[in-house]
Amino acid sequence: MSAQIIDGKRIAAEIREEIKRETESFAAKGVRPGLAVVLVGEDPASQVYVRNKAKACEELGFYSEVHRLSAETTQEELLSLIARLNAQADINGILVQLPLPKHIEEKAVIDAIAVEKDVDGFHPVSVGNLLIGDDALQPCTPSGVIELLKRTGNAPAGKHAVVIGRSNIVGKPVSILLLREHATVTICHSRTPDLPAVVRGADIVVAAVGVPKLVKGDWVKPGAVVIDVGVNRLPDGKLCGDVDYEDVAPVAGWITPVPGGVGPMTITMLMLNTLNSAKAAHGIA
Ligand code: NAP
């Protein structure tokens, strides 16, 4: 028996269809979600991400603005652009593509984004709201993980979830979301002794480590759900996750492939955040 594949591409397409339908239904009321994407410098990977975000906006009927700034842009210039976007009524979401050039302090930039337009969910107030269980725009990759679980009949309630990784963008927020969904959550990191033994106790494993093929078949409880957030480039140019897919798939009950698992969910959840932010701005429930 081999694990059932969690098809992130299909689930992302399903959610985008829902977003598109909702967006069309608001058009008659004159409401159009708007996303501003800001790119500083010429990082090739960031350029691809920014292009994909603009394309997703177009496909869904959103208004979008892409601000491409030179690598020499000062922090003050970037902050004044953010202040402008914060005040712009046709913009519901602001995304500053990270990483930023070294002379710009990332935290100052994230802190400057209006909380109600923080579609990346990285603002400290959004993070605080997430933690205390208030309404908040949720970070995209973690909320994508939760959608993958729910939409495959693997709701986390009552399950033991083991998260490997404690970064602010994936490990910590996905742990909080799993807790909010009533899982019992264990968070592991580089100082966790006997990681395989801890992972063996999991009904749900979320790997967000950045180490290619770290999680092996004999770490996984038979039938467990394995979500691989990792995206690693191998020397031969191929992509692989943090889970040794060939080794784990025969043991797990469900597994996400890389690519085609968590990846397609991230931009989709960004679009959903932008839609929700537009609804909130127009008082639509
Ligand atoms: P990160 O900031 O580098 O954090 C990695 C975490 O893994 C840290 O908490 C680290 O522990 C832990 N870790 C490292 N080596 C370990 C080991 N051998 N055993 C146990 N824990 C270990 O990475 P990230 O930004 O969270 O990203 C993680 C992965 O997800 C990367 O491959 C990244 O490319 C991918 N990613 C994918 C998406 C997507 O859309 N699919 C989005 C974001 C990230 P310490 O805290 O102790 O150092």
Q: Are residues 73 and 162 in the same domain?
A: no
The identity of residue 129, as a single letter, is N
Helices 171-180, 124-132: crossing angle, 10 deg rounding: 30
- With respect to residue 123, please indicate whether it lies within any of the assigned structural domains: no
**Of 7, 97, 117, 221, catalytic:** 97
Which tens digit of pLDDT belongs to each residue from 185-200? 999 999 999 999 999 9
Of 114, 149, 180, the position where a domain reaches its end is: 114
Mean pLDDT of 65-69: 97
Ligand 1 atom at minimum distance from 261 CA: 41
* Residue 232, pLDDT above cutoff 90: yes
CATH of the domain at 102: 3.40.50.10860
Number of separate helices (H) and strands (E) present in the chain: 10, 11
Mean pLDDT of 49-74: 97
Of 69, 98, 114, the position where a domain reaches its end is: 114
**Of 120, 203, 242, 244, catalytic:** 120
Per-residue pLDDT band at 28 (split at 50, 70, 90) = confident
- The reported pLDDT for the residue numbered 29 is 87
Residues whose beta carbon lies within 6 Å of some atom of ligand 1: 141, 164-167, 169-171, 188-192, 195, 208-211, 214, 229-232, 262-263, 266
Q: Which domain holds residue 258?
A: 140-263
- With respect to residue 72, please indicate whether it lies within any of the assigned structural domains: yes
Query: What's the pTM value of the predicted model, to 2 decimals?
Result: 0.97
Measured distance between the N- and C-terminal CA atoms of the chain, rounded to whole angstroms = 44
Q: Are residues 147 and 250 in the same domain?
A: yes
* Residue 1, pLDDT above cutoff 80: no
* Residue 91, pLDDT above cutoff 80: yes
Q: Are residues 163 and 219 in the same domain?
A: yes
Based on the structure, what is the number of domains in the chain?
2
- With respect to residue 130, please indicate whether it lies within any of the assigned structural domains: no
Q: Cβ(69)–Cβ(81) under 8 Å? A: yes
Cα 79 to middle of ligand 1, angstroms: 29
